[in-house]
Structure 1
Amino acid sequence: MTTLSVGEMYGTHPEGIAALLEVSGASTMALSFREDRAFAALSVGRFGAVGSTRLDWSGAEVFERSDAFDADELRRLTASYAGVDELAVVFWSNLAVPSVALAAAAVADHAEAVLECSPECWIYLTDSDVLIEFQDGEGFTAGRVPH
């Protein structure tokens, strides 16, 4: 039995983001494993975990929590916290689906497609140093990445 490393498993199921890539076009880039890990080290990697897919926000500056878990709420949060022309990196709960980088405005424009990729995701706003966590059925948390 051969066991794959995380790096070998990463991005093996790009079909998970196919609909997002189709609607967003050339403005969205699937990240390599190295790029994913570099952005993760600046964002989701700075949080502890609660269970297998939730971040531990204790000790972090939380701006807001929302029980809404739809595209309209993701659009609102992105508009509230992203700067003009800001880059966003979207991580999924399954490393077999490659993370993507795109303009934060494109996250808002294609919020439905973003949320359809996975039941959990994290949107890192690179200039604002803000992370938005999405848990399907539970809602969103937005806050500052701890340093």
Structure 2
Amino acid sequence: MSAGAAYGTQPDTIAAVLQATGDAAMVLSYAEDRACAALALNRFGSIGSTRLDWHGAEVLRRSTAYDGAELRSLLHAFAGRDELAVVWWGNLAVPSIALEARVAARCADEILDCGPECWIHLMDSDVLIEFQDGEGFTAGRPPR
């Protein structure tokens, strides 16, 4: 099965996020997901299958906390007013979403409950936040 065919086949995984955000989140198509990934995730190498290689990237903050409060703190610290955020989880079967960063901050717990890793790209600020369950967060700018 191709990545495009598998993409978004597990939307129930993010049902709690979509319910918490109401109509404030948009589920991205595979083409939209890949276009957004080209601006952030795809600019990194990887370590293993789901961890980003931050070598060559500007790291703005690392945190060993791994809860919604810390994600809210990062979003408030780095997102501009009304900034769009794109959220990916570690499995292409789980569709990515786009929503305002302030809404993502409000739903931080639900976002983190969807899987053991996720990435949030703040589109205007060009800041990527990586979450690895049990390890914490890294926030920084993708390599050029």
Q: Which runs of 5+ in 2 are unaligned?
A: none
Q: d(CA) in 2 for partners of 1:73 and 1:118?
A: 16
- 1:68 pairs with one of 57, 65, 69: 65
- 1:84 pairs with one of 76, 81, 84: 81
Amino acid at match of 2:41: V
Q: How big is each residue's C-alpha offset from its partner over 1:18-69, in whole Å with a ceiling of 9 and x where there is no partner?
A: 0000010100011000000000000000000001110000010001110000
Q: d(CA) in 2 for partners of 1:133 and 1:47?
A: 12
Q: Offset at 1:71?
A: 0.3
Q: How big is each residue's C-alpha offset from its partner over 1:45-96, in whole Å with a ceiling of 9 and x where there is no partner?
A: 0000001110000010001110000000000000000000000000110000
Amino acid at match of 1:31: L
Q: Which runs of 5+ in 1 are unaligned?
A: none
Amino acid at match of 2:89: W
| 2:131 aligned partner | 134
| 1:55 aligned partner | 52
| 1:41 aligned partner | 38
| 2:5 aligned partner | 8
TM-score, length-normalised on structure 2?
Answer: 0.99
Alignment of 1:100-111 (within 5 A): 100-111=97-108
| 1:118 aligned partner | 115
Q: d(CA) in 1 for partners of 2:31 and 2:138?
A: 26
3-state DSSP of counterpart to 1:96: coil
Q: d(CA) in 2 for partners of 1:31 and 1:23?
A: 17
Amino acid at match of 1:21: L
Q: Offset at 1:145?
A: 1.5
What is the RMSD of the two structures over their aligned residues, measured on CA atoms? 0.4
Q: d(CA) in 1 for partners of 2:68 and 2:47?
A: 25
Query: Which stretches of structure 1, 4 residues or longer, exceed 3 Å deviation after superposition?
Result: none
TM-score, length-normalised on structure 1?
Answer: 0.97
3-state DSSP of counterpart to 2:95: coil
Q: Offset at 1:132?
A: 0.1
Q: d(CA) in 2 for partners of 1:45 and 1:91?
A: 12
Q: d(CA) in 1 for partners of 2:21 and 2:2?
A: 30
Amino acid at match of 2:3: V
Amino acid at match of 2:102: A
